[in-house]
Each structure stands twice: as C-alpha cells, then as structure tokens.
Structure 1
Amino acid sequence: METYNIYLVEDEANLSQVLKAYMEKEGWNITIFADGDAAVEAVEGKPHLWVLDIMLPGTDGYQVLKAIKEKEDTPVIFISARDQDLDRVLGLEMGSDDYLSKPFLPQELIIRAKKLLNRVYGTSSSEVQKIDLNAYSIDPIGRTILDTEADNEAVDLTTKEMDLMLLLSAEVGKAFSRERIIEHVWGENYFGSERAVDDVVRRVRKKMPRIHLETLYGYGYRILSS
C-alpha cells in the first residue's frame, strides 16, 4: 500500500473528519486545513495531493489553487456545492485535475483520488524499466529524467510535462492524438482547449532539446528514437 501525504482543505468540520477517516483507511497521511489562509501558508509542504473546497473562510479555493500552481504542479481535486458547471470549468482552466460536486459519497472521493495518484505518481509494478532515449535516462517509477550528457543532471519537469514524457516514451514511435494525451495528462473531465497540449510540448522541447518529439499536424505527437 502506497503512503501519500494529502492536504484536505474543508471548513465543514464534520465532513472533513469523515473524509479524513476514509482516506486514512487507505494508509494515507491526512492534514486538515479549515480555512484558505492556513492552506496558502502550507503550500511549501508539497503534499502528493490537495483536496480543496472552493468556498472557504478568508482566502477562497480559487486563490489557494493559484498559490499551489504557482509553486508546484501538485495535483488538486476541487470540491464545491456552488454552480457546478461554472466551478468545474473555472477550476479546470486554473489547473485543478478533477472536480467533485457536493453532496458526494466519501468513497467517490477515494476512487477519484486513487485514480489521480496512480496517474501522476505511476504504478508500483517492478516490471517497469528505465528508458534510455536520446541522451536521457527516464525512470517511470521514480518519475525522474536524467540528462546523461550533462553529468546525469535531473531535468526539471512539471507534473504535466512529466506525464506527457512518460506517456510518449513508453511507446517510442507510436503516434498519440491530442485527445489521447489530454485524457492521460489532464484527465477525462478536462474542458479546456487542446492547445494546452501544444504548450506542454513546447516547454518539454525547451527543457529537453535533444529529444526528438515530432509533431503530426492535425493529429498529435510522437517520440522517435533518433
């Protein structure tokens, strides 16, 4: 069982305790914040996942999300009892990875969290091997990429940049559509533009200039071995 550190930001004390109990049954370490100000101060803690309510005393959930994403691309599940469509779209556009509308069953949060954690932090299967590709050593389990031509210096990628690289490098030469990339990197509930894929690809190319990341115009992308 994988141990994850999860920050839960929820001002309803009863709900936060119920959710905490369910998540602790999964072996996760849960830290509760009852208002947005305390959550912003805790951004430096860098948990594996934030579960973030939108309506909070003091700093609201949108501002907390902004503070999180400015520091690091840590995955976030937004929860809200307000206008569902508006909150969902705004949250996803600002960088949240999933959305739950109140009321919801605690087990639904567990299912969403497990899926997101697995997607972001990878599988524990021992069969997954490191990939050597164009002067880069890619470790899917450790989610690290080393530049072997620069004394094994680590390539600093955001969560979504890493997700993209792990997807494409797992099947070198295979073409992936933008729709498939969005489903893998942003999740099935993403409502933004497909141009988000192009932005991530552009950043990866800048950070990994020796990678051969080919554009398939009108379709998507693929990585070639040389």
Structure 2
Amino acid sequence: MSAVQVQLALDTRTTAEALAAATAAADAIDVIEAGTVLCLSEGFHAVRALRAEFPDAPIVADIRIARAGRKFADLAFSAGASRVTVVGESGMTVISGALASAQSHGGEVEVELGENWTEDEVRKWVDSGVSHIIAHRSGSFRAEDDDEIRTTLERLESVDRGTARVTLAGGLGLGDLAYFPRGNFDVVAIGSTIVKADDPRAAAQSLRTELQQAERSSQWQPTM
C-alpha cells in the first residue's frame, strides 16, 4: 500500500457523472474531492449525494473560499464535507473563519498556495490549525518541464509543518509522478485521468502502482 494517498478530483458537470466515477474507482482511492467545477455546477447537492453514497469516506469540498470563511465553510460542512479549501491569498481572517467552522463541525481546512506564498505564511497557517497545504501545478507545463512545482515542493520541505500534509494537484496523469521523485507530498489529487478512463478503477490502480514504485526508488522521499 502506498504511503501517499490518491485523491479523486471530481470536476464533472453533473452529480451523476461524479457518482459513477467515484463508485467505479472507490476501492482504489483514499479521498473523494467534490471539485470546484462540480460544486459550481451542482451546488452542495453534489456534496450531499457523495456523502450519502460514501458515508465513511473523507470528502473534500474544493470550493476555494476567498471571502466569508466561516459562512461558506459552514455550508460545506453542513452538506457533509470533511474538509474545505481556502485560497492562500484570502488572508488570515478568512482562513481563521474557516478554521472556526471546521472546529465546530469536526472538519478540516486545506489552503491552496498562491503565486507569491512565503514559508512564514505556511507556518502561520499550520500553527493556526490548517491540516493540508495544496501545491497546484499550472496547466501550461508538462510534468517533465515543471520546475516551478518541483521548486515549490522543495521549499515546502524546509517548513516545519507538524502533522499538516501536502497535496499535489493539477493535471497529473499516468507517467507524470516519475518526474517528481523528490516531491515532499502526502496526497496526489487526480481528476480526468481517472474520471474519463474507460476503466476508472484500473486507472486509479495504475497511479497507485506508480506511487509504490516511486517509493521503492532511492530518490523518493515520502513524508509519512
């Protein structure tokens, strides 16, 4: 079993599509994400439907909160989310509001790194109770050319994050994980590679196999 978790990012347009993909891949993934596109298209109905179908699964509502942290987080947690996402540029007041909601609901908060993030910001987030830091790749780079995200992951290695974990996300496909051998991440979020596959379970299992192979290599440095 891979120490790095596989998160299924469901950025479908309909709840029916999301449920079909999640059901097909369920035994080969660790975390279910109601993606931003899904939440905008279907609202929190999608989160409720996923929670009803998968009562014990960790479910991330990737709503990228930028204002009214507590209010929006309350909506997501009340719908059944285990975690909500906040954009790093939103500032500490918004993040603190989301954290207050998380504490009330027994949930968690993930913060997505902005373009000009600093190590001090990450330490402050983690010290305040943020459980996951999201490092999101740009779609303009192929994995083999993405020095920017590799640098981000290396910078995160230098931050004392305690129990907070790092999620690597953004257009990752089969074969891409080999280009991040020094990546200090704990969760990898995969969307269309699984969702659009003829066999979503087989695609998810192939990604898990890649992670296991990478962990056995001398260069791989998992954080678990």
Q: TM-score, normalised by structure 1?
A: 0.33
Which structure is richer in relative contact order (CA contacts within 8 A, separation 6 or more)? 2
Q: TM-score, normalised by structure 2?
A: 0.33
